[in-house]
Structure 1
Amino acid sequence: MIKIESLGFAYKNRAVFEALSIEFEPGHIYGLLGKNGTGKSTLLRTMMGLLFPDKGVVDVFGYNPSKRRPAFLQDVFMVAEEFYFPGVSVEKYVTCNAPFYPAFNQEQFWQYLKEFEIPRGNNLDQMSYGQKKKVLIAFALACNTRLLLMDEPTNGLDIMSKSQFRKVMAGVATEDKCIIISTHQVRDLETLIDFITILDNGNIQFHHNIEEIQRVLQFGFSFEKALPEDTIYKEGALTGQAFIKRVEAGEDNTGKIDLEMLYKAVNLKGPAINAAFAGVN
């Protein structure tokens, strides 16, 4: 379990977090959403021990990330949005870096590269940004760490590569692994994410799993001007109106969740959305 209590962090004179508290549990793929500058990347780097909190507690599987213990570092991996690869072959990169991760599976790595359609013998400095990112993602997954953090992993990937990414990611979630993905590309990941966390101004604005969301909210579309009385959020479309409403008692809700629409609703109608979840376990 990852447990964060009363986290405070600031860059010089700009406070990012003042008293943030949240928990992440294994067995989930979390979607970490929020506006630019709201603290998503900072939170990931704090959990990795790359940034040190000014106050509060960050506990990752019983370790303090700031201590950078070898036993901690071998069980966590972060795919950063910006990264550097040396001018070596893929094989050389694996030979030099895989020993730091005891659970690294070389067979898995080459299989992931095959699925990403990356030639095995290429040098890293001769690859495009998208190809390099796929190599990094393949390496991260093959490390089989209990905590995997990904910061905008689909940036730089074309449409086919995003489909390959979703296919690969769908097979890596296990009960003992916690995956947290920070993204603006909600539609790229909505079939993978099973827990939604939304940050705003350094605070947790929303933190619920997909089952809870489906139990509380219904997403619909109306071609008529009139909307259900218990509509919480609406937005116009070319032929009608999309809306979010409360699920009524006894109502069977099997409709698809629109994560992009949910994100906008939380930002624009936060109190009403949170009120709908009051008392939900």
Structure 2
Amino acid sequence: MQTDGLGKRYGQTWALRGCSLQLPAGRIAALVGPNGAGKSTLLHLAVGLLQPDAGQVRVFGQDPRDNIDALADLGFVAQDTPLYPDFTATELITMGSRLNRRWDSEIARERLTRLGIPADKPVGKLSGGQRAQVALALALAKKPRLLLLDEPVAALDPLARHEFMQALMGAVGEYGTTVLLSSHLLADLERVCDHLIVLQTAHVQLSGAVDDLLATHCRLVGPRVADGAAVPGVAAMIRASHTERQSTLLVRTDGPVDTDRWAVHDVTLEDLVLAYLGAADTRSTGTAALPEVAA
């Protein structure tokens, strides 16, 4: 999946603007950002449900909108897991087999049986978590090359979330599926995702392989420095806090840091996401712009 200057607006408001990113095949990518950042809009553009107002999106080199060949390779679970409420899971599986070129009913049946979800009960009478699992089972039965998930675990309990994430990892390993997963649950994402995309105020703020991003960011603790002061080895200061004598900085590095002056600490994925989102919030109040980062 690749986007170049992708944008979508509703009236005079841009829900997504200038979005350029490339998602490598075979990755599980986390798509994070606050409500209203443009995550759902990006996913709906990627599956052809919306038409862009600027730029383009390509999935396996093709425009997904009204493109049967491209859509055959896509699986999508929307935020509200829309399913025909009067249909049973068995009926939905049968319908899927008749509507999709590439379909494996056994994947869906085995998954629902393992989870103890009744296949003969109308899905409208299932719990929210069970409906989410049915939607995922149907999406995996399509054997998509790219699976897009919009807040799929919001309705699941911790055990079900863990099982859901394990299923995603299994799909990537078995079928080579690429996954783009939108979620606010950073702890769950950190366990399974190897690529990160941060959206904020309709823009891509950060994008890249998790290992690369973590390797080029760290937390520095040392003597008090002024905001905006140059620090050797630091390409960008993402977030800073100060006491009277000490500064704590989350930074992106471009070279060695003076370890005699600074104590250097690794950061987690959660540290990184919260720092960039917090820095973007500060930027919106009129302070210096934070550079967009792609690794």
Q: Give TM class, smaller chain.
A: 0.7 to 0.9
Q: 1:137 to 1:130 in 2, by over 3 A?
A: same
Whole-Å Cα distance in 2 between the matches of residues 256 and 110 of structure 1? Answer: 43
Whole-Å Cα distance in 2 between the matches of residues 6 and 209 of structure 1? Answer: 20
Letter aligned with residue 191 of structure 1: R
Q: 1:167 to 1:219 in 2, by over 3 A?
A: farther
In structure 1, runs of 5+ residues without a counterpart are 237-241
**Counterpart mapping for 1:100-115 below 5 A:** 100-115=99-114
Report the counterpart of residue 216 of structure 1 in structure 2: 216
**Counterpart mapping for 1:1-281 below 5 A:** 2-66=1-65, 68-82=66-80, 83-174=82-173, 176-218=176-218, 233=239, 244=250, 249=256, 258-269=268-279
1:169 Cα offset (Å): 1.4
1:37 Cα offset (Å): 0.8
1:20 Cα offset (Å): 2.1
Check whether the contact 2:217–2:266 (CA below 8 A) recurs between aligned residues. Answer: no
Check whether the contact 2:3–2:19 (CA below 8 A) recurs between aligned residues. Answer: yes
Paired residue secondary structure (1:160): helix
Whole-Å Cα distance in 2 between the matches of residues 54 and 118 of structure 1? Answer: 41
Paired residue secondary structure (1:56): strand
Q: 1:159 to 1:63 in 2, by over 3 A?
A: same
Check whether the contact 2:83–2:123 (CA below 8 A) recurs between aligned residues. Answer: no
Check whether the contact 2:31–2:197 (CA below 8 A) recurs between aligned residues. Answer: yes
Report the counterpart of residue 228 of structure 2 in structure 1: none
Deviation per residue, 1:16-45 (Å, 9 max, x gap): 233322212211111111111111100100
Larger Cα-atom Rg:
2
Letter aligned with residue 167 of structure 1: Q
Check whether the contact 1:74–1:100 (CA below 8 A) recurs between aligned residues. Answer: no
In structure 2, runs of 5+ residues without a counterpart are 225-230, 243-247, 260-264, 281-287
Deviates more, 1:161-170 or 1:40-49: 161-170
1:176 Cα offset (Å): 4.4
1:202 Cα offset (Å): 1.5
Paired residue secondary structure (1:25): coil
Whole-Å Cα distance in 2 between the matches of residues 79 and 206 of structure 1? Answer: 24
Report the counterpart of residue 239 of structure 1 in structure 2: none
Give the share of equivalent positions with the same residue, in percent: 27
Q: Runs (4+) of structure 1 moved beyond 4 Å?
A: 229-236, 242-251, 270-275
Letter aligned with residue 79 of structure 2: E
Letter aligned with residue 11 of structure 2: K
Check whether the contact 1:112–1:168 (CA below 8 A) recurs between aligned residues. Answer: no
Paired positions, count: 266
Letter aligned with residue 30 of structure 1: A
Paired residue secondary structure (2:9): strand
Q: 1:160 to 1:176 in 2, by over 3 A?
A: closer
Whole-Å Cα distance in 2 between the matches of residues 214 and 55 of structure 1? Answer: 32
1:234 Cα offset (Å): 6.7
1:125 Cα offset (Å): 2.0
Paired residue secondary structure (1:136): helix
Deviation per residue, 1:182-220 (Å, 9 max, x gap): 111212221111111001111110002122023223469
Whole-Å Cα distance in 2 between the matches of residues 235 and 149 of structure 1? Answer: 37
Whole-Å Cα distance in 1 between the matches of residues 98 and 199 of structure 2? Answer: 35
1:267 Cα offset (Å): 2.1
Deviates more, 1:43-52 or 1:123-132: 123-132
